[in-house]
Chains A and B, each alone.
Chain A
Amino acid sequence: MNLIWQGIIEAFQLLIHGNREMLRIAALSLEVSLGATAVSLVLGIGAGTAIGLNKFTGRKFIISLVNTGMGLPPVVVGLVVMIFLWRGGPLGFLHILFTPIAMAIAQVIISFPIITGFTSASIQQLDSKLRFQILALGASRFQIIWLVLKETRLPLLAAVMAGFGGIISEVGASTMVGGNIMDQTRVLTTAIVMEAGKGDFGLAIALSVILMILVYAVNLLLTMIQQRNKAQ
């Protein structure tokens, strides 16, 4: 019990006084994960719309692949990205292994299927007659996509939350392709693992609290947007 209390007290001291290293770690976490979410949002909404709106052969197969991708183990993603970026690997010439870019790439791969899956599922849930109605109103291809996305924006925000939540709290891939290098690739999750391993529970708890606050703040913001839309 003493250990826990000590850890919590130390954590709050750290949080109150602020610690430059801690803040830098938190900032990098946000930067990498928000960037990755933004990229997968563009890719995922594009792919999800294509799957949701069109009928083509192999569609069911692709949907099943996407659904599987929604549960991709981050460690496996980390391993694959690591192999590709390794000095002798196919993309080794890029020299980006153990950089925040490599971490962002891994996180895009993790969140892309999540956002794609959510997008295509919410588009498929739309009344098929509504799609006919949009078409019948004289919508061009671009206008159809725009209106369909507008009608599905509530579940789409849920997709953003799920995608972001999935990668900011992910540790396996970040460790493998980032390397947890101080001042360079150390993010909240990798730092927590490390500090806990060293027995420095105070710092680990402080970092966890920051992580929780960040996740909550982003979700709060998105929820507010979602609910305001719903109220309209």
Chain B
Amino acid sequence: MSRDNSTNLSIVPLEAKNLSVILGGQKIIDIPSFSVFPNEVIVIIGPNGSGKTTLLLTLATLLKPEKESIISYWGQPAKYSSDILKLRRQFAVLFQEPLLLSGSVWDNVTLGLRMRRVKKDEINFRTKKWMERFGIMGLAKRQVKTLSGGEAKRVSLARAFVLQPEILFLDEPFTALDSPTRASLLEDFERVLRETKVTTVMVTHDRNEAIALANRVAILLKGRIRQIGTAQEVFSCPVDEEVANFIEVGNILHGTVISQNDGLALVDVGGQQLEAVSELSAGTRVTMFLHDDDITLSLLSTQTKVSSARNQYTGTVVKAFPIGSQIRVTVDCGVPLVALITRRSWEEMGLNQGQTLIASFKASSIHLIPRR
């Protein structure tokens, strides 16, 4: 689909102001301002019930926001009248379920193009191209009811991409799949996104999908966007405790800055002293975030005397909880520290509960914010 000639590539494809959605008397979405940049992949992550789907449906013009809300596409505020169809036909939306309609795979992939009355040659060309791209050319004549979950998802992906959308909206498109299917699809999808450079808005609760796909990540909690930035920024520097909790940093500690020198702060945490990279001055009460995989555990005997890790504490293992191939170890060092280590390390080091060891981490691993 081609945009109006009046729009130009540097204009933000989507800009929302005072966005508010009320469903069943409850304010589900409350976002003062939100923009999507041209050709970026923005991933909005949030827990269940945070309003992700509602936000996506609203941005895709499928739900009407409250009156005061203004959503502009390429600089033009959306009008919820008969014009909306023209706008909507520049989008494609993928949901968690493939949501195919009864009929054959070919019927489904061509459906959006037939709705737009695209010429037959063009339909054939685009459909073949995208079915090939997603590896489903052999399924063209199959009835959709006979497809596996992964195949159906590929059909729904092809059905979206044949439309050559200006903006692609995705609602947890990979969550319902088993993990091998998901991994192969995610890889394919990432490559297609990179090739087509289609502006993409995706919501998910999965951090790994965000890290794999996003140029920018936004954190949505209780209908509000709490933080927005690159994946690196958001995941290592959460703006507050709630965000840190959601992204599961592992360690959230409270303390007070004792002294600060050359950007290195000494912080008192329940009697224990930590060193952290920070410009905050002495006396500031702070909250600290420390990712569980930034903590290294070592046995007392093998501990090298000299290390670049500014923080080294002796403690005892109080809890060990397996998570997949990793083990989450809680070490009591005066303050409880949670470290994520591989199962292999746990076995090779011969760790067990009650064991004394050293937990170390760099001063730069700690993200420190003043406490309100």
Contact = CB atoms under 8 A, between A and B. Distances in A.
B130 to A, nearest CB: 14
A140 B85 contact: yes
A184 interface: no
Given A151-B101, A232-B102, A136 B116 contact: no
Main SS of chain B's interface residues? mixed
A129 B54 CA distance: 12
Interface of A: 127, 129-130, 132-140, 143, 147, 150-151, 232
B62 A138 contact: no
A137 B236 CA distance: 38
Interface of B: 57, 60, 62, 85, 88-89, 91-93, 95, 97, 99, 101-102, 111-112, 115-116, 143, 159, 163, 169
A137 B91 CA distance: 8
Contacts of B62: 132, 135-136
Interface centre among A129, A130, A137, A151 (most CB of B within 10 A): A137
A132 B57 CA distance: 8
A133 B115 contact: no
A138 B110 CA distance: 12
A129 B115 contact: no
Nearest to B111: A137
Main SS of chain A's interface residues? helix
Nearest to B159: A137
B143 A232 contact: yes
A136 B93 contact: yes
Given A130-B99, A136-B88, A138-B89, 15 more contacts: A127-B97, A129-B99, A132-B57, A132-B62, A132-B95, A133-B95, A136-B91, A136-B169, A137-B163, A138-B112, A140-B85, A140-B115, A143-B115, A151-B101, A232-B143
A151 B93 contact: no
Nearest to B114: A143
B60 A136 contact: yes
B83 to A, nearest CB: 12
Given A132-B62, A135-B88, A151 B102 contact: yes
Interface centre among B102, B143, B163 (most CB of A within 10 A): B102
Given A132-B57, A132-B95, A139 B101 contact: no
Contacts, number: 48
Given A136-B91, A151-B102, A232-B143, A129 B97 contact: yes
B85 A138 contact: yes
Contacts of A137: 92, 111-112, 115, 159, 163
B122 to A, nearest CB: 15
A226 to B, nearest CB: 13
Nearest to A147: B101
Contact of B115 (A127, A139, A232): A139
A134 B112 CA distance: 9
Interface centre among A134, A138, A143, A151 (most CB of B within 10 A): A138
Contacts of B111: 137
B334 to A, nearest CB: 51
A150 B101 contact: yes
Nearest to A144: B115
Contacts of A138: 85, 88-89, 112, 115-116, 163
Contacts of A136: 60, 62, 88, 91-93, 169
B323 to A, nearest CB: 32
Nearest to B145: A232
B152 to A, nearest CB: 13
A143 B112 CA distance: 11
Contacts of B93: 132-133, 136
Given A138-B88, A232-B143, A133 B163 contact: no
A150 B102 contact: yes
Contacts of A151: 101-102
A129 B96 CA distance: 9
Nearest to A140: B85
A139 B89 CA distance: 8
Nearest to A135: B62
A151 B100 CA distance: 10
Nearest to A132: B62
A225 to B, nearest CB: 15
B88 A129 contact: no
Contacts of B115: 137-140, 143
Contacts of A150: 101-102
A188 to B, nearest CB: 37
B142 to A, nearest CB: 11
B163 to A, nearest CB: 7
